[in-house]
Amino acid sequence: MRQAGRHFLQIPGPSAVPDRILRAIDMPVVDHRGPGFAELGHRVLSGMQTIFKTTQPVIIYPASGTGAWEAALVNTMCAGDKLLMVETGHFAFLWQKLAIKLGLEPQLIETDWRRGADPALIEQALKADKEHRIKAVCVVHNETSTGATSKIGTVRAAIDSAKHPALLMVDTISGLASADFRFDEWGVDVAVSGSQKGLMLPPGLSFNAVSEKALVANKQATLPNSYWQWQDMIEANQRGYFPYTPATNLLFGLAEAIDMLHEEGLENVFARHIRHAAATRAAVSAWGLEVQCLEETECSPVLTAVRVPDGCDADHLRSTILAHCNMSLGNGLSKVQGKVFRIGHLGDHSDVMLLGTLAGIEMGLHIAAVPHAIGGTQAALDHLKSTPRAQSKAA
Ligand SMILES: *Cc1c(COP(=O)(O)O)cnc(C)c1O
């Protein structure tokens, strides 16, 4: 049966694509080797540097985020190289599995999937690695399976304090353009991102930002790679072109997304996400439910993972909400399947979209008979009313 009204896609990526970006993508395909293309190429390549906050090269792949994960490793590593990876949740776990398939040797720092990476444990592991066999520290900036962030600046400080030469690799696939990310200032060596989360685009583009130090590692790396090769990309990119066919129409959308982010002002975008996350947590707490992330200062501005009471099935709640409210919420992944549902409040997202989302959840909690207190939506509204939107000017 037809459901009236727009579908609420409230999963933490892909996020809803704003009409302005859909219109920008809706163009005839152009010749990616033609004379006019370089202008678009330069525009998105330099634009992405402003989003990563870097003067270093940004590589754009026609691939999902997973491709850029692989690119980060195959461009810098040799077979058998050791990595230090923090398992903050399902996505960190998947990156580790990918590394093993490539013939690398991850050393894991485990967590309870309810917090970010602990810099003290990273420092300890690096200090113990006297022979400097660890070639990279890999951390997920915004762990999309748990709604916990890691403080990347403090991870850099831990590596420096251990006086260890390992590269710092950061998955900011769901962090970039929603949560503050500072590639140069935080001394990140390789950042990995994707198009379908904070960048408000459909899936299909992914990114590597690469430091000088990563480019040096690239010269010594021997893992086989061809499609992912940074040097081929960087060479063609200097002229505004790509070594193979780029996802042309997504690049039209990317140029529009970069403009939109700067029109609002990146810092305003980050503040909006933080405010929506805080309002969401106010709702969860009023419902008497529990947020998956245990550390207040690590709670994600991008999404909130909510635990359902013991004996309840989060997936049943989600399917109830989909059927009754035409709204998709994120599922619990692997270890937390059925135990949590995830509310995405990222990308092109407004106060009224958030309130609609929370009202839909409150309705779903009632219909699915999940024990809860009423008033979560009201608590979020109160939070939004008491913290009016920042009026600061866009950069
Ligand atoms: C979405 C996501 C990925 C996976 O990206 P794909 O585009 O699905 O390959 C990896 N890491 C994080 C943190 C993500 O949010």
Of all protein residues, the one whose alpha carbon is nearest to atom 11 of ligand 1 is 91
* Pocket probe mutation, ligand 1, options 60, 91, 302, max atoms within 8 Å of Cβ: 91
Q: Are residues 229 and 275 in the same domain?
A: no
Residue percentage of the chain with pLDDT more than 90: 97
Task: Convert the pLDDT of each residue in 274-303 to its tens digit.
Answer: 999 999 999 999 999 999 999 999 999 999
CB atoms within 10 A of CB 166: 22
pLDDT at 325 over 90: yes
Cα–Cα distance for residue pair 293/93, rounded to 1 Å: 17
* Of 228, 243, 262, the domain-final residue: 262
Which residues are CB-neighbours of 316 under 8 A, at least 6 positions away? 368
The C-alpha atoms of residue 241 and residue 252 are separated, in whole angstroms, by: 14
Q: Please provide the size of the chain in residues.
A: 395
* DSSP assigned state of 390: P
Does the beta carbon of 204 sit less than 6 angstroms from any atom of ligand 1? Answer: no
Residue 356 CB–ligand 1 contact under 6 Å = no
**pLDDT given for residue 1 in this prediction:** 81
Neighbours of 80 (CB within 10 A): 11
- Structural domain contains residue 145: yes
Strands 167-171 and 134-140: parallel
Record the pTM.
0.97
- 251 plus 276 within the same structural domain: no
Could you read off the pLDDT of 85-121 as tens digits, one per residue? 999 999 999 999 999 999 999 999 999 999 999 999 9
Which ligand 1 atom is nearest residue 206's CA? Answer: 7
Domain match, 250 and 361 both: no
* 254 and 121 within one domain: yes
Q: Are residues 195 and 135 in the same domain?
A: yes
Residue 339 clears pLDDT 70, i.e. is over it:
yes
Q: How far is it, in rounded angstroms, from Cα 215 to Cα 211? A: 6
For residue 392, pLDDT over 90 is answered with no
Q: Is the CB of 13 under 6 A from ligand 1?
A: yes
Nearest CA to ligand 1 atom 15: 174
Query: How many angstroms is it from 65 CA to the middle of ligand 1?
Result: 5
Q: Which residue in this structure is represented by tokens 């994120």?
A: 330
Closest ligand 1 atom to Cα of 196: 7
Other residues' Cβ atoms within 10 Å of the Cβ of residue 28: 6
CA distance 41 to 78: 31
How remote is the CA of residue 36 from the centroid of ligand 1, in Å?
Answer: 32
Q: Is residue 1 part of a domain?
A: no
**Ligand 1 site-directed mutation target among 173, 192, 193, 205, most atoms within 8 Å of CB:** 173
Q: Is residue 355 part of a domain?
A: yes
Average pLDDT, the chain: 97
Q: Tell me if 144 CB under 6 Å of ligand 1.
A: yes
Task: Please report whether residue 59 resides in a domain.
Answer: yes
The parent domain of residue 291 ranges over 8-15+265-391
Give the number of domains in the chain: 2
173 lines ligand 1 (CB under 6 A): yes
Interval between CA 324 and ligand 1 midpoint (Å): 28
**Looking only at Cα atoms, what is the longest distance across the chain?**
64
One-letter amino acid of 53: K
pLDDT given at position 350: 97
In a shared domain, residues 175 and 221: yes
Establish if 100 belongs to a structural domain.
yes
Coil, strand or helix at 289: coil
What CATH number is associated with residue 276?
3.90.1150.10
The ligand 1 atom at the shortest distance from the C-alpha of residue 64 is 7
Residue 309 included in any domain = yes
Instruction: Give SS3 for 232.
Output: helix
Residue 395: pLDDT over 50: no
Q: Is 315 exposed, middle or buried (0-12, 13-18, 19+ CB in 10 A)?
A: middle
CATH code for the domain in which residue 28 is found:
3.40.640.10
Query: For residue 311, is pLDDT > 50?
Result: yes
Q: 202 CB under 6 A from ligand 1?
A: no
Tell whether 247 and 299 lie within a shared domain. Answer: no
**Residue 384 and residue 340 share a domain:** yes
Residue 81 belongs to a domain: yes
Is the separation of the CB atoms in 196 and 15 below 8 Å? yes
Q: 152 with 280, same domain?
A: no
Same-domain status, 142 and 244: yes
Question: Given the DSSP bridges, would you call strands 190-194 and 206-210 parallel, antiparallel or unpaired?
Answer: antiparallel
What pLDDT, in 10s, does the model give residues 62-78? 999 999 999 999 999 99
Looking at 262, 294, 314, the residue that finishes a domain is 262
**C-beta of 65 in contact with ligand 1 (< 6 A):** yes
Kindly tell me if the per-residue pLDDT of 317 is higher than 60. Answer: yes
Q: Of 272, 188, 209, whose CA–CA distance to 50 is shortest?
A: 209
Q: How much distance in Å is there from the Cα of 179 to the middle of ligand 1? A: 15
Same domain, 255 and 272: no
Beta bridge partners of 185: none
pLDDT of residue 391: 54
Cα separation values, 342 from 19, 64, 279, 361, 371, Å: 24, 21, 15, 11, 18
- If asked whether residues 185 and 271 sit together in one domain, one would say no
Pick from 233, 262, 291: which residue ends a domain? 262
The finding on whether 91 has its CB within 6 A of some atom of ligand 1 is yes
Total H helices, total E strands in the chain: 13, 14
Tell me, yes or no, whether 89 lies in a domain. Answer: yes
Summarize pLDDT for 124-174 with one digit per residue, the tens.
999 999 999 999 999 999 999 999 999 999 999 999 999 999 999 999 999
